[in-house]
A = this chain, B = another copy of it.
Amino acid sequence: MNKFTFALEARDGAARTGVIRTPRGEIRTPAFMPVGTAATVKAMLPGSVRETGADIVLGNTYHLMLRPGAERIARLGGLHRFMNWPHPILTDSGGYQVMSLSKLRKMEENGVTFRSHVDGSAHLLTPERSIEIQLMLGSDIVMVLDECTPYPATYDQAEASMQLSMRWALRSKDAFERAEAISRGHALFGIVQGGVYPELRASSVKALCDIGFQGLAIGGLAVGEGQDNMFRVLDCTTPLLPEDTPRYLMGVGKPSDIVGAVLRGVDMFDCVLPTRSGRTGQAFTSEGVLNLRNACHAEDLRPLDETLNCEASRNYSRAYLHHLVKSKEILGAMLLTWHNLAYYQHLMRKLREVITEGRLREFAADFLREKAGN
């Protein structure tokens, strides 16, 4: 059967573990999606990304529409073939990065006009165009165009922003249906907005459930509100979400954010942290975050983590990584990115395991007490 499905396999409190099935393969949840911004998980071979245990990567519509362009990727056979990643891909809508990266942007009811940060060319992104682009890329999980409400925002600002997002969610769904994308195995996820205001979050969930999606994301978090606020929003939002569809917390996060969100019933995550940190000399480990630039590592013969089943974690000393980082060698970025992704995927594997065994609460308490990879 060539369709997108989600099967829960076990529950532990609010937490869940299960499997999303897509025509491109399975995604075990809770899942962490490495970010492959410009059709590459930076400094990683796709085969190595897979080896760490990633079932799915994220592609950025904003970057890809500007370079090399969605039409070009479509002519070349789609994003999977282009980047040599035959497994599932989720694409964002482009909205978030239009607001954070582009120039001269102008938000209107119809959509957002902006100029490319690459070459200054003018573009219009509407809900319909975002869906069109994501389907040209061949995305397995397509996201609706929304406005990521900034933090802080007043109640009125958050409400107006959320209502715009809900109107765009409906237009996105219509465009997705007109393209008959479901029958080809693509899925469309809605995005809950509403800032830090429980009533607005509830109202957003209701609007999205009325429209109907294959999964729901929680947006507008990890934008500076802090972990406590984020967890409070999750506490009031995830209980309202349908049980039988995946829940995706966008742009999150640190390992402790992920553990806390899984405890609250989230199934999917994406974040640049493991990849970006890898390029700036930071390693996530069970001892916490190590900064490999630090002179204390200069003669440390220990590998980053011998227990991880990852070449980068086991076969290179901290002393060598220190040298590579200090010397700005590409191999330093390669090895630290690889290790960090292996660390994240190992954490997700552990989370799935302890949920299955009903031991999540105990695991999370130990993990947060040790501040492992915090």
Give me the interface of A with B, judged by CB distance under 8 Å. Answer: 38-40, 42-45, 47, 67-68, 72, 75-77, 82-84, 279, 298-299, 301, 311, 315-317, 319-320, 322-324, 326-327, 329-331, 333-334
Contact = CB atoms under 8 A, between A and B. Distances in A.
Counting from the closest, the 10 A-B pairs by CB-CB distance are: A43-B330, A40-B331, A68-B323, A38-B327, A40-B329, A76-B319, A84-B315, A82-B320, A84-B316, A42-B330
Contacts of A43: 330-331, 334
A334 B38 CA distance: 16
Nearest to A68: B323
Copies of this chain, tallied across the complex: 2
A229 to B, nearest CB: 35
Given A76-B320, A82-B323, 9 more contacts: A39-B320, A40-B331, A44-B331, A68-B322, A72-B299, A76-B301, A77-B301, A84-B315, A330-B333
A214 to B, nearest CB: 29
A298 B68 CA distance: 8
Contacts of A77: 301
Contacts of A324: 39-40
Contacts of A75: 299
A326 B39 CA distance: 12
Contacts of A330: 42-43, 279, 330, 333-334
Contacts of A82: 317, 319-320, 323
B311 A47 contact: yes
25 contacts: A38-B323, A38-B327, A39-B320, A39-B324, A40-B324, A40-B331, A42-B329, A43-B334, A45-B311, A45-B331, A67-B326, A67-B327, A68-B298, A72-B319, A75-B299, A76-B299, A76-B301, A76-B319, A76-B320, A82-B320, A82-B323, A330-B330, A330-B333, A330-B334, A334-B334
Nearest to A335: B45
